[in-house]
Structure 1
Amino acid sequence: MNDPTREAMLTDAPSPARQRRTYSIGELAKLFEVTPRTIRFYEQEGLLEPERRGQTRIYHDKDRVRLKLTLRGKRLGFSLAEIREVIELYDAMPDGNARQLQRLLEILAEKRANMERQLEDIRLMQRELDDVEIRCQEALDNLRRQPSR
């Protein structure tokens, strides 16, 4: 299975030419099919750090990669705190990539365990629904067999 964070880091690492590429909030919103409000929210949460020129936000390739990782993390069920932690680990140290990947594996294992518990809960609920449905159908069949008064 591919690691989306590692893949993004490897395939989206800014080249010297791309480091100069900047984006407006509208361009990023269109690129990722989100609203500018979503981008401002992620900025407020510390996941994006655009350059400011007066009231204008200037997003660099680093912000584009962070937004991509954030949106992938959300799709995988990561909390914003978990996403922030993984991104900060990567930014913090030269060996951040190894630590980031280790932490990402831990989070994925937690998510998988939670999903397994949820699946078992769903299976139990399905069995209970099946049982109630069978009893209701039997009661209805018994009522139908009784002569009308």
Structure 2
Amino acid sequence: MYIGEFIQTFETTRETVRYYIEEGLLTPTKVNGKYFFEDIDRSDFKNIRELRDMGLSIRVLKQIKKNKKDCGSTMQWKSNLQIINDELERVEKELEILTRQKKTLEIISNQLQLALD
């Protein structure tokens, strides 16, 4: 399928697809100067979406794709495990920051509510 049908099928934008191509995450072939997406491209796009929905960055997706050449190997699993553990650590730090922000906002909210009462 060509890019127009691809973006309709996946309800995405041309800019998003082109960005993923530029970043090397999608590698469609060119037919008569137009991108042609095969089953592997559709599968890759679904995987990209799932990983992005988990909050993974483009940098991390590139690492995972690079590991794909060793698909099913212990080396790939160890590398992906490290990537996921690093992401878990990043998310934990973000949660700590958000928890502190929430507590501060709750205190201010309570103080304002008391001032209004």
User: Into which bin does the TM-score normalised by the smaller protein fall?
Assistant: 0.7 to 0.9
SS in 2 for 1:85: helix
Higher relative contact order (CA 8 A, sep 6+): 1
One-letter amino acid of the counterpart of residue 38, structure 1? T
Picking from 109, 126, 145, the partner of 2:85 is 109
TM-score for both structures, normalised by structure 2: 0.80
Task: Report deviation, 1:78.
Answer: 1.5
Correspondence for 1:97? 72
One-letter amino acid of the counterpart of residue 86, structure 2? E
| Contact preservation (8 Å) 1:66, 1:87 | no
Task: Report deviation, 1:134.
Answer: 3.4
Task: Report deviation, 1:43.
Answer: 0.9
Task: Report deviation, 1:30.
Answer: 2.0
Encode CA deviations 1:60-90: one digit per residue, 9 max, x unaligned: 2221122112122211121212112211221
* Alignment root-mean-square deviation, CA: 2.1
Correspondence for 2:50? 72
Structure 2 unaligned segments of length 5 or more: list them: none
Percent sequence identity is 28
Encode CA deviations 1:84-143: one digit per residue, 9 max, x unaligned: 22112213xxx43333333222222222222222222222222222333333444455xx
Residue 134 of structure 1 pairs with residue 113 of structure 2: no
2:116 and 2:15 map into 1 onto residues whose CA distance is: 54
The verdict on how the C-alpha distance between 1:97 and 1:27 changes in structure 2, with shifts beyond 3 A counting, is: farther
Structure 1 unaligned segments of length 5 or more: list them: 1-22, 142-149
TM-score for both structures, normalised by structure 1: 0.65
The verdict on how the C-alpha distance between 1:78 and 1:134 changes in structure 2, with shifts beyond 3 A counting, is: closer
